[in-house]
């Protein structure tokens, strides 16, 4: 249950910090805290935990309107690894992340199981503040072909090594774009299972020298005969 926000008494913020901060003060766990808009505003304005590197905010009922407030919070400034899976973040929420310099230190971003569509994926792909990302997990969202193509052709995700796009409704156009992955020169791992079964797209991926060179590539391609 979300705490009632009292403008005169924000001791709940101190309690959240005390309970969620690891002993080495490098990891901060806010997961399973039920946010609402007033709480998002107070966290954005009043919560800063210097020196944290890992931040868990999964299953917090986060919505786009909450992300509009949170995206400018100093809470995220030192964070290198951010877990925001299993929330209700849509394309607009992803855009708030993409447009905020507070996320420029991120190396790992998990947005698994949200509601991010093509526009959100495109915003992430075009963000100058996410250029240090090495892992991006967008599995079980709604990025579709347009979102997949935007990520594959990104000029900003130059350090991205691991990309998870499982279960995103990706078909032929997205598959062929990912088969070339012209903008992801450091990519070593691509997960693309549970998408559309498009025979031409799957064949393009099977024949792609770019994907064959990856250390790990998982898709719905049938196994090759021995």
Pairwise CA distance, residues 77 & 69, whole Å: 14
Query: What's the angle, vertex CA 28, arms to CA 188 and CA 93, rounded to 5?
Result: 65
For the chain, domains (ranges, CATH) are: 11-218 (3.80.10.10)
226: number of Cβ within 10 Å: 3
**In this predicted model, what pLDDT tens digit does every residue of 93-137 receive, in sequence order?**
999 999 999 999 999 999 999 999 999 999 999 999 999 999 999
Question: What backbone torsions phi and psi does residue 192 show, to the nearest 5 degrees?
Answer: -140, 35
Residue 9 has pLDDT above 80, yes or no: no
pLDDT band (50, 70, 90) for residue 222: confident
Query: What DSSP assignment string belongs to the chain?
Result: -PPPPBTTB-HHHHHHHHHHB-TTSSEEE-TT----HHHHHHHHHH---TT--EEE-TTS---HHHHHHHTT-GGGTT-SEEE--SS--BHHHHHHHHT-GGGTT-SEEE--SSB--HHHHHHHHT-GGGTT-SEEE--SS--HHHHHHHHHT-SS-TT--EEE--SS---HHHHHHHHH-TT-TT--EEE--SS---HHHHHHHHT-HHHHTSSEEE-SPPPPP-
List all residues 6 or more positions away from 27 whose beta carbon is below 8 Å from its beta carbon.
21, 52, 53, 54, 55, 56
* Contact (CB, 8 A) for 174 and 147: yes
**In this predicted model, what pLDDT tens digit does every residue of 174-213 receive, in sequence order?**
999 999 988 999 999 999 999 998 889 988 998 999 899 9
* Contact (CB, 8 A) for 58 and 83: yes
Burial 66-76 (b: 16+ CB within 10 A, else e): bbbbbbebebb
* Contact (CB, 8 A) for 62 and 88: yes
pTM value is 0.93
Nearest in space to 206 (alpha carbons), one of 186, 176, 184 = 176
Residue 50 has pLDDT above 60, yes or no: yes
pLDDT band (50, 70, 90) for residue 226: very low
């Amino acid at each position: 249950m979300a705490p009632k926000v009292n403008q005169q008494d924000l001791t709940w913020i101190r309690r959240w910090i005390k309970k969620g901060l690891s002993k080495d003060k490098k990891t901060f766990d806010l997961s399973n805290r039920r946010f609402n808009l007033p709480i998002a505003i107070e966290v954005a304005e009043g919560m800063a935990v210097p020196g944290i590197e890992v931040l868990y905010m999964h299953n917090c009922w986060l919505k786009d309107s909450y992300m509009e407030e949170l995206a400018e919070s100093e809470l995220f400034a030192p964070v290198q690894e951010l877990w925001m899976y299993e929330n209700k973040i849509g394309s607009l929420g992803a855009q708030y992340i993409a447009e905020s310099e507070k996320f420029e230190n991120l190396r790992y971003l998990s947005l698994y199981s949200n509601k991010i569509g093509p526009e959100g994926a495109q915003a992430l792909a075009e963000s100058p503040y996410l250029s240090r990302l090495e892992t991006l997990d967008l599995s079980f969202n709604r990025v579709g072909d347009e979102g997949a193509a935007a990520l594959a052709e990104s000029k900003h995700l130059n350090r991205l090594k691991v990309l998870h796009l499982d279960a995103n409704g990706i078909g032929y156009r997205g598959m062929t774009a990912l088969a070339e992955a012209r903008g992801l020169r450091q990519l070593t791992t691509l997960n693309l299972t549970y998408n559309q079964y498009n025979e031409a797209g799957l064949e393009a991926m099977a024949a792609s020298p770019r994907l064959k060179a990856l250390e790990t590539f998982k898709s719905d391609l049938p196994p090759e005969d021995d």
